A and B are shown apart, each in its own frame.
Chain A
Amino acid sequence: GAVVSQHPSWVICKSGTSVKIECRSLDFQATTMFWYRQFPKQSLMLMATSNEGSKATYEQGVEKDKFLINHASLTLSTLTVTSAHPEDSSFYICSARVSGGADEQFFGPGTRLTVL
């Protein structure tokens, strides 16, 4: 089956620093990747849709200058949390759709971000 990796799996950083999270589709090409945020015991909230070779589409209320998304290739999308603050601490999960495939999403294992 399609596999999506995410790196790092967890990160602890100081307030004010930037953190980059990578999302890779390992055995398939993904024209579209999604970035979600999940707080404890809550649902996944879509942050943005990342399309290869174009600008990401951000959901309402998500600051594009705060959460920088780059989708430079068909197998890699990155999310950079700039000037992170404690309220940015969360579980960030990416997902990918197979190019030309069905509607299902394949999720990465997630990244636990803790900002001190």
Chain B
Amino acid sequence: GQQVMQIPQYQHVQEGEDFTTYCNSSTTLSNIQWYKQRPGGHPVFLIQLVKSGEVKKQKRLTFQFGEAKKNSSLHITATQTTDVGTYFCLRLSGGSYIPTFGRGTSLIVHP
């Protein structure tokens, strides 16, 4: 499938600091999903963004979908140790639902 670039690969923060991970595509995305995988665990669905310029919030998490639908971001405000894990974006190809994960951003929160 077509690639989606995700940066950074790792992010170390002090507890209370903010965190952002970005996903970029060279082609227009029909939608984008975000998942979280805790160490030793499996991915858990967080959200799906569909509309151009869409912004959704879940408590301290803010998800954005770019106006051109080629990029997306996940921002965590005031990180906590429970936020530790790897955050993946996922694109679905066209109408055939072929999922492609970004490489993921591993968040490490230092207490």
Contact = CB atoms under 8 A, between A and B. Distances in A.
Interface of B: 1, 31, 33, 41-45, 48, 88, 92, 97-104, 106
B42 A93 contact: yes
A41 B39 CA distance: 10
- Interface residues of B, dominant DSSP: strand
Nearest 8 A/B pairs, CB to CB:
A107-B42, A104-B45, A43-B103, A43-B101, A44-B101, A107-B43, A43-B104, A110-B42
Contacts of B106: 41
A102 B48 CA distance: 10
Interface of A: 32, 34, 41-46, 49, 59, 93, 95, 97, 102-110
A107 B44 CA distance: 7
Contacts of B98: 46, 49
A43 B99 contact: no
